[in-house]
Structure 1
Amino acid sequence: MKIKCVVVDDEPLALELVCNFVKKTGFLILEEKFDSALDALSYINANQVDLMFLDIQMSDLTGMELARVLEGRKGKQSPKIIFTTAYNQFAIEGYKVDALDYLLKPFGYEEFLNASQKALKYFEKQTATNHSTAEDYIFLKVEYQLVKVMLKDIVLVEGYKDYVKVHLVDKNSPILSLTTLKNMEELLPEGQFMRVHRSFIISLDQIVSISKSTVNMGIMNISVSEGYKENFLQFINKWIN
């Protein structure tokens, strides 16, 4: 597998160092390098990028701000991020935008390679999930490990600001994963799952009963919000009419 990368850093020496590390890593492809987050954003909007090595403290737009802009785009897959920074206080913020890893400057090639291999494992698992059947699985980041979850066991996903609750069949407590509902919407297969509210994705196989404005998932009733009602009504029309 080859991973398309860009490197973003406004420090020339740091930029060249990371670019050299990318070039010597066989499964990484250096597409472009940028000393401006705004220039990187323009490129990513026009080109496919799988992974960014992204500095945080930059003058025009910080790396954290760029990550949030990319996360908020509609209908576009955002590149995954490995942050590179001299400031360790940003580690928690990095996980809030679903960063794959966090490299604290100065770092050597061994640390860089470890983070890159983590990205490789992530993309390999994503590829396997995208080619799976409806009875396959996904991996969720839970604390400091990836947990395998069978798609058929998911009842619904409940979103909060910085994490999601994944409610499972025959489980009293949901799984807490440090990711966003938008990322879950991209991860879960369309046709098996549907977003019906800004805070909820439901499994269509786990619906107990439905109406024009609510859906009963057994463990709770969920109101279908206005922005998602049209898609939901298209789904239930064959049962109501």
Structure 2
Amino acid sequence: MILKCVAIDDEPLALELLSKFISQTAFLKLEGRFSNAIEALSFLNQNEVQLIFMDIQMPDLSGMELARILDGKKNNDKTRIIFCTAYNQFAIEGYKVEALDYLLKPYSYEDFLAAATKAYQYFDRIHNTPVAKSAEPTATQEFIFLKVEYQLVKVMLKDITHVEAYKDYVKVHLKSKANPLLSLTSMKNMEELLPSEKFMRVHRSFIVALDHIDSVAKNVIQIGDHQIAVGENYKEQFLEFLSKWMS
């Protein structure tokens, strides 16, 4: 699945960087770049895109005003917005117009990729959700994209056994590989990427795949040959999960 995108920013350098990040992301396609929201609105009225990356403070028509206009249109779930701004005071307003994410300038490609991946997973869920089977569980995501060295790697969720913090990186341990994948991202980003019904953070340095837990003894989780301690701040949530597991 390729997501059609537009980039909107009145600052030339910011627009250039945003366009570059979109172009180097395998599952995004840049359909247009605009230095003001009025030109962008004219384009969006005639063309369908899935994702809009845009600044908020722009002359004539602000990004927030454009978001409200788009929010009033029918089928607005087909187009989602990721704000890219230097001002964090707009975060609450961003959530009111159901912005998918909020990138605070200056942001890195890692930050951009995390937001773009969230968008990919959103549209993947929309695409795979059955329309007339309300009595059945809806489809969930099956994979994520991780930045490994200079490429994006598709990782199946069922293959992940656990995630481990490692300096400025994370180690993603896989059932199918002897060595973990090393990705330049944070545990917080991984926690947001991974579906909470399948993964749980049990320590400041560990996220575990619930389906891959072999045993638990004295607050120590066994996954294959790995023993993972449950941190004090995570015990209550994990014990709640265990109580359902044992019922």
The TM-score, its normalising length taken from structure 2, stands at: 0.54
Q: How far apart are the structure 1 equivalents of 2:37 and 2:43?
A: 10
Deviation per CA, 1:74-128: give whole Å up to 9, x if none: 4665510000000000111111100110000011101000000010110100111
Match of 1:2 in 2: 2
What SS is found at the alignment partner of 1:32? strand
Distance 1:58 1:129 in 2: 36
Partner of 1:14: 14
Structure 2 gaps of 5+ residues are: 140-191, 198-247
Partner of 1:39: 39
Once the two structures are TM-superposed, the CA of residue 133 in structure 1 deviates from its matched residue by 2.5
Alignment partner of 1:64 is 2:64: yes
How big is the shift at 1:52?
0.2
SS in 2 for 1:133: coil
Query: Cα offset for 1:136?
Result: 3.6
Name the SS of the counterpart of 1:14 in structure 2: helix
Cα deviation code 1:194-217 (max 9, x no counterpart): xxxxxxxxxxxxxxxxxxxxxxxx
Pair 111,133 (structure 1): closer, same or farther in 2 beyond 3 Å: same
> CA separation in 1, counterparts of 2:48 and 2:5?
9
Q: Is the 8 A contact 1:7 1:33 kept in 2?
A: yes
SS at match of 1:57: coil
| Residue 131 of structure 1, CA deviation | 5.4
Q: Distance in 2 between matches of 1:28 and 1:118?
A: 12
CA distance in 2, matches of 1:147, 1:39: 40
Deviation at 1:60, TM superposition (A): 1.3
* Residue type of the alignment partner of 2:19: C
Q: Is 1:86–1:104's contact at 8 Å kept on the other side of the alignment?
A: yes
Question: What amino acid does structure 2 have at the position aligned with 1:95?
Answer: Y
- In structure 2, the residue matched to 1:106 is 106
Q: Aligned in 2, Cα 1:62/1:138: closer, same or farther, shift over 3 Å?
A: farther
Counterparts in 2 of 1:29 and 1:136: CA distance versus 1, 3 Å: farther
Deviation at 1:2, TM superposition (A): 0.6
**How far has the Cα of 1:22 moved from its partner?**
0.3
Q: Which residue of 1 aligns with 2:96?
A: 96
Contact 1:7/1:54 (8 A) holds in 2: yes
How many pairs does the alignment contain?
A: 144
Contact 2:130 2:138 in 1 (8 A): no
CA drift at 1:36: 1.0
In the alignment, is the contact (CA less than 8 A) between 1:37 and 1:61 conserved in 2?
A: yes
Deviation at residue 129 of structure 1 after TM alignment? 1.2
Give 1:137 deviation, angstroms: 4.7
Q: Could you say which residue in structure 2 is the equivalent of 1:82?
A: 82
Equivalent residue for 2:230? none
Q: Decide whether the 8 Å contact of 2:53 with 2:82 is kept in 1.
A: yes
- After superposing on structure 2, the runs of 4+ consecutive aligned residues of structure 1 that deviate more than 4 Å are 75-78, 144-148
Change (3 A) 1:46 1:147: farther
Q: Distance between the aligned counterparts of 1:82 and 1:105, measured in 2? A: 12
Two-structure CA RMSD over aligned residues (Å): 2.3
Q: Aligned letter for 1:56?
A: I
Task: Name the % identity.
Answer: 54
SS in 1 for 2:26: coil
